[in-house]
Amino acid sequence: MGWEQDIGEADRMWRTYIEMAKHLGSHLQQHLQRECDLSAADFEVLVRLTESERREMPVAEVAAATQWEKSRLSHQLTRMAQRGLVERVDADDRRYPDVRLTDKGRAAIDKAVPEHTELVHALFIDVLGPERMAGFAQACADVLRALDEHRERDCSL
C-alpha cells in the first residue's frame, strides 16, 4: 500500500521541501528588496501596523503579532525609524511607547502588498490550485500542532 517506503524516499521528500522553502522565501524577499526597498522584516512590521485602525499600536502588540523577541523588534523599529518608515510615540504610560506608521511607510506598504500578493499567487497558490492547497494547508496545520505538543513536552521537563 506504500506504507513501507524506505527512509531514503522520505529523506528526499524532506529535502525537496527544504529546497522549496529556501528558494520561495529568498525569491519573495529579493523581490521585496529590489522593487520596494523593503526587507522581509520591514514588510511584516508594516503589515501588522496597517491591520490597526489608527496606524499605530503599542510595541507589545506588534511583538505579539509577529512573535518576535522584544530586542529584535526594538532593533528593527530603530532601523525603520531611521529610514522614516515608522515613528515611536510616547503613550500615557511612558514605559510602553507606541509605534506609528508614517506617510512614507504607508506609501511603501501600499505599493508592496499588491505586488507581493500577486507573486504569492503566481508562485504558490495558483500552482497548487484550491484542492491541493487545502491539503497542503492541512498538512502545515498538523505539523504546527505537532510542534506545539513537542514544545510543551520540552517545557514540562
Partner DNA sequence: GTGTTCAGGTTGATGTGTCAACCCGGCCAC
Partner DNA sequence: GTGGCCGGGTTGACACATCAACCTGAACAC
Q: How far is the CB of 37 from its own copies (least distance, A)?
A: 18
In the list 63, 65, 113, 119, the residue contacting DNA (rule: CB under 7 A) is: 63
Instruction: For residue 39, state whether it binds DNA (rule: CB under 7 A).
Output: yes
The contacts found for 75-80 with CB under 8 angstroms, 24 or more apart, are: 76/41, 76/42, 76/45, 77/45, 80/42, 80/45, 80/105
From the list 64, 89, 107, 122, which residue makes contact with its own copies (rule: CB under 8 A)? 122
Give the dihedral sign, CA 28/31/32/34: positive
Handedness of CA 36, 119, 110, 58 (dihedral sign): negative
Give yes or no for residue 148 binding DNA (CB under 7 A).
no
Per DSSP, the three-state class of 99 is: strand
Q: Which CB atom, from 47 or from 59, has the smaller least distance to its own copies?
A: 47
- The binder of 45, among DNA, its own copies, none, by C-beta within 5 to 8 A per type, is none
Q: Tell me how far, at minimum, the Cβ of 86 lies from DNA, in Å.
A: 11
Contact between 72 and its own copies per CB under 8 A: no
Is 96 near its own copies (CB under 8 A)? no
Q: Binder to its own copies among 83, 147, 155, 156 (CB under 8 A)?
A: 147
88 exposure class (CB count in 10 Å sphere: 0-12, 13-18, 19+):
middle
- x/- contact string, 9-28, with its own copies (CB under 8 A)? xx-xxx-xx-xxx-xxx-x-
The Cα 45–Cα 61 span in angstroms is 11
